[in-house]
Amino acid sequence: MTERINHQWRLTSRPNGDLTEANFNWTETPVPALQDGEVLLRSLYLSLDPANRGWVREGGSYRDEIALGAVMEGGAIGIVEESKHPKFAVGDHVQTMIGWQEFLVSDGKGVTKLPVMPGLPLTAYLGLFGHIGLTAYFGLLDICNPKPGETLVVSAAAGAVGSLVGQIGKLKGCHVVGIAGSDDKCKWIVDELGFDAAINYKTEKIQDGLRRTCPKGIDIYFENVGGEILDAVLARLNLHARISVCGMISQYNASKPVPGPYNIINLISKRAKMEGFLVTDYMPRAQEAMQDLGAWFQQGKLKYRVDVVEGLKNTPAALSKLFDGSNQGKLIIKVS
């Protein structure tokens, strides 16, 4: 049998600013022969996420930094190509951290077999039924406890997480306002997803937009971006407001420290809370979310969009779409 060649993107330097193709090397190595207890996975779909940026930062973020010279990490859907592992058979679909490469030899730890769900595309496991869906679900419901009639503001509202947060907010009876960076995105979240209003922060001053769309103030803010938008939201909080801090993408590529929000003192006068979370903490409760998300999806109440880029070779270039705002939905690399 022909020797398999594994193409890989390896991290070669830590960025001072944007993470780009210049920080990676495209390498190839032969796939080693399987030992007993091992399984060979071929990557099908690779997930690209804003959090990836933190993983390459010196000192790491919520996890250890990725070492220089190592294959860049990333969650993926794969298929079992060969197996000397009792739990996996050729053809099984699995999910694990395959990384930015075509093949992974694994001892099976941390590899999850995907259930067969008719009519559900494989990419859904990187999105609605993956960490994206759980992030939106628990970040909104567990941290913020939305009540009917409350005003919910979501930033990066056309993004993978934000678009779900807004729809779940509508299902819970909130007045939902999304902030996004183009008229197309704003149109999509209002016309297709049912948000009550949208603000294009590139063409309207965010303070004006919030005044226009949140006449009753803001009860809940789902934070994906940080920076000026957070500050403007803090200035319009209602009493007992809740801010769920999911991400601060505006800061991930910053080469020097970014000042925090000027209006943070408003947390006192508004008796408001700001709470960070990581979806990994909610894994033991994943079933809860799956049931609700699955039911809403089947009832046609949750819409979901993926942005699939073809080819592992294009991965570093595609990553920038997350930070310049040009992706439309959950960003996924079709590896093979």
Q: Which residues bind its own copies (CB under 8 A)?
A: 54, 61-62, 226, 231, 245-248, 251, 257-278, 281
Q: Which is nearer to its own copies, 262 or 317 (CB)?
A: 262
What DSSP assignment string belongs to 280-325?
Answer: GGGGGGHHHHHHHHHHHHHTT-----EEEEE-GGGHHHHHHHHHHT
Cα–Cα distance measured from residue 152 to residue 139, given in angstroms and rounded to the nearest whole number:
13
Q: How far is the CB of 268 from its own copies (least distance, A)?
A: 4
Residue whose C-alpha is closest to residue 282's, from 137, 146, 127, 115: 137
Whichever of 209 and 227 has its CB closer to its own copies, that residue is: 227
54 vs 194 by CB, closer to its own copies:
54
In angstroms, what is the minimal distance from the CB of 233 to its own copies? 13
User: What distance in Å separates the CA atoms of residue 221 and residue 144, rounded to the nearest whole number?
Assistant: 8
Nearer to its own copies, 138 or 188 (CB): 138
The DSSP secondary-structure symbol of 124 reads G
Nearer to its own copies, 269 or 287 (CB): 269
Cβ 141 to its own copies, closest distance in Å?
Answer: 16
**Sequence-separated (6 or more) residues with CB below 8 Å from residue 226:** 247, 248, 249, 250, 251, 258
Residue with tokens 């997480």: 161
Looking up tokens 């005044």 gives 211
Give the C-alpha separation, 216 to 273, whole Å: 19
Taking the least distance from each CB to its own copies, the nearer of 86 and 260 is 260
CB of 200 to its own copies, least distance (A): 25
User: Least distance from C-beta 54 to its own copies, angstroms?
Assistant: 8
Task: Supply the minimum distance, in Å, between the C-beta of residue 218 and its own copies.
Answer: 15
